[in-house]
């Protein structure tokens, strides 16, 4: 007899039932703004998207979108194109459409309480803190690094009333957003607009300042009430194979920086990029744009027989008159960490992909020039314990001829400015140890954020980390501890209806310019959605904040709801299908039916992962025992001061 694992709904259950919001590191209510778009309320959609995310416009272009990976619609056909929908509304109402000095005032006048409001909402900051520029005598906080973590940290510190000062190594702000994300993905005027809106809040950004060279950490600690280290992972991880040292082999991150800053870059005719993540594709696609003209005549897979000695080569290759770019990685196509869109667009541009191969040696001629890379097929990537430990077939090596190698196999943070006297203890990885809640290190008043806290992750992870560090600084300087209390509400939806045929509408692919138009680095590949496409795509959202609520006192156990359910997510089962060891569930059963449950006692169970919120069960119920209800919640910010806690301001 089958026993079902059941869960009694609580606040966490209802929140997890909105998987896009639960998956977002800053708890953006993606469902909320997608449904607002579906209803044509575009400004409201922008306000929901911007509420917890100070870099919403940038994320609308380049976020890796963990919300989409979690989207329940993906189990049916394809997830909602959430990031592209965010771009649609930020383009009309965000930093790129509003003067920077007016954006905060605009937000302050428009933000109201939302249906599903997490702890990072801008409205909560505005309700508890001044929103004008920090006062001249307010404590200042040094932030090392103007990347997404540093900008988000500065944004929230300004809202807390501090004077954030960002020290940036490069000659312009935005860190890896500028020097690591290519212009064809993220327009430079958009970066400037987003940064300008944060500067307008009273944030000072000092560029061309290298901590350890132009200013010491000791000096920062003396001048400021606290220091937040938001140093991004700007160093390429070294490739440990013979022949890698010398001309013709370049770190991928350094190459991207040189391209972004307009520095002279010399590449050979044939380029090998080593790595399989999204950064590797940024490197390969940027190399394609800087390696000379290209004949975009497409060739069939059988015409690339010279490459077929190894497992997988991209099915679309291209003949180049002056250059060819190969991307070679350890992972199979299914294991690759790169965004599928990067892979597809790379194929369109003629990037020749080689999967499941590992570099063994960079080959050079008698003059030391690179002539190729020797690869071996990958037999396995992980050992029996699941640890990364690649094994190679050394009996079947092959050479990919080239004259330039770009290495993009991972990134590291440069902490050369940290010295023992600063009191910052390091973990075995060489990263600062820190309190997981406050993000303060063992060095007094020195915090970490972004890549230094989490290791290299997504842009939205860095934003979340920067915001968390700001709360830690607030507690350190003022003694105020930030906590959160949640309120939930379930609202009955009368006359619940969905868009006609919403469950069969296919995902609208994001429009892109033709490959032949992409040679210029400034030519943005994605065109984005127009209004008609955005409305159609948003209407596909299942609206996971809506739930079927069953009234057991009215239910007559007719089973009509299960019969009419198109996804078969409802079942009518007897109580003996429950787990007898689940004490919470058994206590509930005793509370409802008593200790001696009738032999024919039954219950309705629901598989939330399959429900499409069609409402047919409520429509079919003859006893009005089922209602469609919208779940809403608000996390209220609460502050407390520890008695006797001295301020560091």
Query: Which spans in 117-238 are helix H?
Result: 122-128, 148-159, 176-179, 188-199, 217-223
H or E stretch at 42 = helix 42-50
Judge if 437 and 361 occupy the same domain. Answer: no
Judge if 403 and 426 occupy the same domain. Answer: no
Average pLDDT rounded to a whole number, residues 147-176? 96
- Mean pLDDT over all residues of the chain? 90
Give the chain's domain count: 2
**CA-closest candidate to residue 589, choices 607, 571, 569, 574:** 574
Q: Is residue 292 very low, low, confident or very high in pLDDT (cuts 50, 70, 90)?
A: low
Answer with the one of 379, 409, 439 that is the final residue of a domain.
409
Encode 554-609 in three state secondary structure: CCCCCCHHHHHCCCCCEEEEEHHHECCCCHHHHHHHHHHHCCCCCCCCEEEEECCC
How many CA atoms, within 13 angstroms, populate the side-chain half-sphere of residue 423?
10
Identify whether 604 is part of a domain.
no
Judge if 395 and 425 occupy the same domain. Answer: no
Judge if 273 and 324 occupy the same domain. Answer: yes
Identify whether 120 is part of a domain.
no
What CATH number is attached to the domain comprising 357?
A: 3.50.50.60
Q: Report whether 479 contacts 470 (CB < 8 A).
A: no
* 3-class secondary structure, 355: strand
Size of the chain, expressed as the number of residues it contains: 649
Judge if 391 and 463 occupy the same domain. Answer: no
Kindly report, residue by residue over 101-159, the tens digit of the pLDDT: 999 899 989 988 889 999 889 988 887 776 666 778 899 999 999 999 999 999 999 99
| Whether pLDDT at 644 is above 60 | no
Which residue range forms the structural domain that includes residue 294? 238-409
Q: pLDDT value at position 317?
A: 34
Judge if 355 and 247 occupy the same domain. Answer: yes
Q: pLDDT value at position 3?
A: 66
Q: pLDDT value at position 647?
A: 57
Judge if 316 and 451 occupy the same domain. Answer: no
CA distance linking residue 379 with residue 358, whole number of Å: 10
Q: pLDDT value at position 314?
A: 40
Kindly report, residue by residue over 183-236, the tens digit of the pLDDT: 999 999 999 999 999 999 999 999 999 999 999 999 999 999 999 999 999 989
Judge if 287 and 366 occupy the same domain. Answer: yes
Identify whether 115 is part of a domain.
no
Identify whether 348 is part of a domain.
yes
Judge if 405 and 419 occupy the same domain. Answer: no
CA distance linking residue 475 with residue 646, whole number of Å: 10
Judge if 292 and 264 occupy the same domain. Answer: yes
Q: pLDDT value at position 131?
A: 67
Judge if 357 and 430 occupy the same domain. Answer: no
Identify whether 497 is part of a domain.
no
| Whether pLDDT at 312 is above 60 | no
Q: Report whether 337 contacts 278 (CB < 8 A).
A: yes
Judge if 270 and 146 occupy the same domain. Answer: no
pTM of the model: 0.91
CA distance linking residue 439 with residue 45, whole number of Å: 32
Between 312 and 548, residue with greater pLDDT: 548
Identify whether 465 is part of a domain.
yes
Identify whether 185 is part of a domain.
no
CA distance linking residue 122 with residue 52, whole number of Å: 6
Answer with the one of 437, 458, 478 that is the final residue of a domain.
478
User: How distant is the alpha carbon of residue 639 from its chain centre?
Assistant: 29
| Whether pLDDT at 342 is above 70 | yes
Average pLDDT rounded to a whole number, residues 482-487? 88
Answer with the one of 409, 444, 460 that is the final residue of a domain.
409
Identify whether 124 is part of a domain.
no
């Amino acid at each position: 007899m089958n026993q079902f694992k059941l869960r009694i709904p609580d606040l966490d259950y209802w929140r997890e039932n909105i998987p896009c919001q639960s998956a977002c590191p800053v708890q953006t209510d993606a469902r909320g703004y997608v449904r607002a778009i579906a209803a044509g309320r575009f400004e409201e959609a922008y306000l929901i998207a911007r509420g917890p995310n100070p870099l919403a416009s940038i994320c609308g272009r380049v976020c890796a979108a963990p919300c989409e990976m979690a989207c329940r619609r993906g189990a049916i056909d394809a997830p909602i194109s959430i990031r592209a929908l965010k771009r649609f509304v930020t383009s009309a109402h965000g930093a790129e459409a509003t003067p920077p000095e007016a954006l905060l005032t605009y937000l302050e006048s428009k933000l109201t309480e939302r249906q599903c409001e997490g702890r990072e909402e801008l409205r909560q900051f505005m309700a508890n803190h001044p929103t004008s520029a920090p006062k001249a005598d307010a404590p200042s906080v040094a932030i090392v690094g103007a990347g997404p973590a540093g900008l988000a940290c500065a944004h929230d510190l300004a809202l807390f009333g501090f004077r954030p000062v960002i020290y940036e190594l490069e000659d312009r702000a935005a860190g890896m957003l500028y020097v690591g994300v290519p212009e064809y993905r993220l327009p430079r005027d958009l970066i400037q607009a987003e940064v300008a809106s944060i500067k307008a809040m009273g944030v000072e950004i000092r560029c061309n300042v290298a901590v350890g060279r132009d200013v010491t950490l000791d000096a920062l600690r003396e001048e400021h009430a606290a220091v937040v280290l938001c140093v991004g992972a700007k160093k390429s991880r070294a490739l440990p194979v013979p022949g890698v040292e010398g001309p013709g082999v370049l770190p991928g991150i350094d190459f991207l920086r040189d391209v972004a800053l307009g520095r002279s870059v010399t590449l050979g005719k044939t380029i090998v990029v080593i790595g399989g993540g999204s950064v590797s594709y940024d490197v390969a696609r940027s190399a394609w744009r800087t390696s000379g003209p290209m004949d975009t005549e497409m060739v069939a897979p059988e015409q690339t027989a010279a490459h077929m000695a190894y497992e997988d080569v991209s099915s679309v290759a291209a003949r180049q008159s002056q250059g060819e770019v190969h991307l070679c990685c350890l992972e199979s196509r299914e294991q690759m960490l790169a965004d599928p869109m990067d892979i597809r667009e790379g194929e369109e541009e003629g990037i020749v992909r080689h999967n499941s191969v590992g570099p063994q040696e960079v080959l050079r001629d008698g003059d030391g020039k690179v002539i190729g890379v020797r690869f071996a097929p990958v037999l396995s990537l992980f050992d029996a314990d699941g640890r990364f430990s690649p094994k190679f077939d050394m009996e079947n090596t092959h050479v990919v001829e080239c004259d330039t190698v770009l290495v993009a196999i991972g990134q590291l943070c440069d902490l050369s400015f940290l010295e023992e006297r600063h009191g910052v203890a390091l973990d075995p990885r060489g990263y600062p140890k820190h309190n997981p809640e406050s993000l303060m290190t063992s060095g007094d008043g020195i915090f970490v954020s972004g890549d230094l806290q989490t290791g290299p992750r997504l842009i939205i992870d860095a934003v979340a980390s920067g915001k968390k560090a700001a709360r830690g600084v607030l507690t350190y300087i003022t003694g105020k501890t930030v906590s959160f209390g949640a309120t939930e509400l379930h609202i009955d939806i009368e006359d619940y209806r969905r868009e006609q045929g919403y469950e069969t509408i296919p995902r609208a692919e994001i429009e892109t310019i033709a490959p032949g138009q992409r040679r210029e680095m400034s030519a943005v590949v994605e065109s984005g959605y127009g209004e008609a496409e955005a409305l159609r795509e948003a209407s596909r959202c299942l609206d996971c904040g809506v739930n079927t609520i069953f009234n057991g006192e009215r239910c007559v156990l007719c089973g009509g709801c299960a019969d009419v359910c198109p996804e078969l997510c409802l079942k009518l089962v007897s109580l003996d299908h429950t787990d007898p060891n689940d004490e919470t569930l058994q206590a509930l059963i005793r509370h409802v039916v008593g200790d001696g449950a009738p032999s024919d006692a039954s219950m309705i169970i629901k598989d939330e992962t399959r429900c499409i919120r069609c409402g047919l069960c409520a429509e079919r119920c003859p006893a009005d025992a089922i209602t469609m209800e919208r779940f809403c919640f608000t996390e209220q910010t609460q502050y407390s001061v520890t008695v006797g806690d001295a301020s560091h301001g």
